[in-house]
Structure 1
Amino acid sequence: MKQRQEISKLSVDDLKKQVSSETERLAKMKLGHKVTPLENPLQIRDVRKHIARLNTELRKREIQA
């Protein structure tokens, strides 16, 4: 819940920057996991969910505007 409150405080530009950086991070994690397995592969799921939360907040603001 704390993470959602932090996301709602961000500006639209900050949200877009975070989405792009997290998407890049996810791609690197997936590639790295295929080469050498991650110690904790559940991190991939967490990053994917974080991206979804950011996109949800962006969409919510788009609808309100």
Structure 2
Amino acid sequence: MKNTEINALTESEINERIVAEQENLTKLKFAHAISPIENPNKIKEAKRLVARLKTFLREKQLAK
């Protein structure tokens, strides 16, 4: 997800997306713990996406 796409979202949409991406990250971690996933960089990408979403959410809250 690109920064321009995230910036176009509303606060509630960003919150929903954060919850969905955190669930995805949890699933990736469990899958990797059971048997190594093909591309472990997906875990790092998911963490960064959650952090980016939280950053944009905080920026929107402070802009109010």
Kindly indicate whether residue 36 of structure 2 is the aligned counterpart of residue 37 of structure 1: yes
Matches within 5 A, 1:1-65: 3-65=2-64
Query: What is the CA distance between 1:35 and its match in structure 2?
Result: 0.1
Q: Deviation per CA, 1:13-64, whole angstroms, max 9, x where unpaired?
A: 1100000000000001001100010000000000100001100000001111
Which blocks of at least 5 consecutive residues in structure 2 are unaligned?
A: none
Quick one: which amino acid aligns to residue 5 of structure 1?
T
Equivalences, count: 64
Flag as ranges the 4+ runs of structure 1 deviating above 6 A. Answer: none
SS in 2 for 1:44: helix
What is the RMSD of the two structures over their aligned residues, measured on CA atoms? 1.0
Which blocks of at least 5 consecutive residues in structure 1 are unaligned?
A: none
Query: What is the CA distance between 1:8 and its match in structure 2?
Result: 0.1
